[in-house]
Structure 1
Amino acid sequence: MAAVISISGEFLMSASAISSADGASAAGALSSKAVSSADGEQRFLKLLVTQLNNQDPLNPLDNAELTSQLAQMSTVSGIEKLNTAFQSLLAQSGSSQVLQSASLIGRAVLVPGNGLALEQGAAVPFAVELPQGADSVKVTVTDAAGNTVRSLDLGALPQGVKTLSWDGKSDGGVQLADGAYTVNVAAYSGDSRVTGIALTYAGVASVSQGGNGVALDLGAGRKAALSEVRLIL
């Protein structure tokens, strides 16, 4: 029976295609470890020549089978080169994104977060994002001790981002002291809870390339992905 070489990233040859001595040598050379494209091509050609030299004269390797094996070799080599080119393209794209994102340094962005900083009694802007429309949306502002100081009933809201502002006053109209506050969102569609996301503004201090893409340094140890930016001021 004619020997068959199968190709799937590595190259294997049936024991019947070669002598026992050659078979032991080939088995040692072709381990399960990945090989480079150039090394793989050389091993393939060496095995192919060995196969041709040791084939049964009465049942030689069919031309169609030989052509198929060469085509598989070409396909594997092409895929490896394509992967290399794709990885290079991704690296260049990442570098380009960092350069483009550098223009955000010094600007304010609207990103997921629930921390509000009240300073000198000035109004604090924030926003609410809904993945779907809701019949009832309520926003509460709590102080550092967890006490609710302001409640806002927004009624029904459609899907999307709704920009809002807190005047820094309590429900009783009293101006609250400067400091850190927290905003929370509760949204419902009928009896079902809707995941409302609080969005706050933060200044971009720097940008960097991370494992998940471009990351924005918002100061105070806070970071956000470029994909999380909803609005740029």
Structure 2
Amino acid sequence: MEGLEQVFGSSYNPGTTQIGKPKEELGQEDFFRLMVAQLNNQDPTKPLDNAEFLGQLAQFSTVSGIDDMNESFNGLVNNFFTSQAMMAAQLIGREVLSEAGTMLNAFYTPGEAVSGGLIADSDTQDSRVNIYNGTGNLVNTIALGDIKAGSHQFTWNGVLKGGGEAELGNYLIVAEGRVDGSKVSLPMQQYNEVTSVSVDREKMAVLLQLDNGQDIKFSQVNEFK
């Protein structure tokens, strides 16, 4: 019993009944008490190896540090998502510009212009935006000429290449240009109205629901108006 008293102090009483829920895991204080007990009760002829002792300390420090880091990280993540969700909520009812692949599907209403954008990964020559009707016929081309790398916007007011105004309906818009003499397709960007906002914690993303039925991440918004 002498060894146990050294570990737990003179107040140790094997007959004492424990009241309350027992601990399910050791805390920092328990760890150091056990470590001291291990040192006090080690075999003098076989003392604890320094490497083993340092390894135990490092293991505890690592686990303790990870727990603290995870707690801090979770707090930062929650604050980050809350901040992003609040900013994203301010976009409800507004139009945002986001990537739309290499083809942009646009609905034209007479009297209302269609706006969009394109992305050039590098300086591009002879760039242009081609607009096709529902039957696949080219109805107009917007020449942008030589453009620098980056995002560029365009507006189509519904005018046809032969004159007159386009009819109500869906139109396909694509952009192209030349880089080092070779023809390239340019990724498109499209404006859509934000109808609602949601938070997907599993995917760690704030999502915007658009009026075209598409969901995009808040980080995918390039511009808003």
| CA deviation string 1:141-189 (max 9, x = no partner) | 1122333222233221111222211121222113111111111011221
Q: Does residue 222 of structure 1 match 2:214?
A: yes
Contact 1:139 1:183 in 2 (8 A): yes
Shift of 1:43: 9.8
Any residues of structure 2 matched to 1:22-41 within 5 Å, and which?
38=25
Q: Does residue 103 of structure 1 match 2:95?
A: no
Shift of the 44–159 alpha-carbon distance from structure 1 to 2, 3 Å rule, reads same
Shift of 1:194: 4.5
| CA deviation string 1:6-44 (max 9, x = no partner) | xxxxxxxxxxxxxxxxxxxxxxxxxxxxxxx94587997
Distance in 1 (CA, whole Å) between partners of 2:219 and 2:97 is 11
Over the matched positions of the two proteins, sequence identity in percent amounts to 35
Q: Which moved more, 1:56-65 or 1:203-212?
A: 56-65
Residue 129 of structure 1 aligns to a residue in which SS?
strand
TM-score by length of 2: 0.74
Any residues of structure 2 matched to 1:46-125 within 5 Å, and which?
56-62=43-49, 65-113=52-100, 114-125=104-115
Shift of 1:139: 1.4
Q: Which moved more, 1:57-66 or 1:214-223?
A: 57-66
CA-based RMSD of the aligned residues comes to: 3.0
Residue 72 of structure 2 aligns to a residue in which SS?
helix
Distance in 1 (CA, whole Å) between partners of 2:129 and 2:97 is 17
* Counterpart pick for 1:159 among 143, 149, 156: 149
| CA deviation string 1:108-161 (max 9, x = no partner) | 112223122211243222222212210121211112233322223322111122
Any unmatched runs of 5+ in structure 1? 1-36
Residue 94 of structure 1 aligns to a residue in which SS?
helix
Aligned partner of 1:143 in structure 2 is 133
Aligned partner of 1:20 in structure 2 is none
Partner amino acid, structure 2, of 1:163? Q
Distance in 1 (CA, whole Å) between partners of 2:68 and 2:155 is 54
Higher helix share: 1
Any unmatched runs of 5+ in structure 2? 1-23
Residue 129 of structure 2 aligns to a residue in which SS?
strand
Residue 80 of structure 1 aligns to a residue in which SS?
helix
Q: Does residue 177 of structure 1 match 2:167?
A: yes
Shift of 1:202: 1.2
Residue 204 of structure 1 aligns to a residue in which SS?
strand
Aligned pairs, number: 197
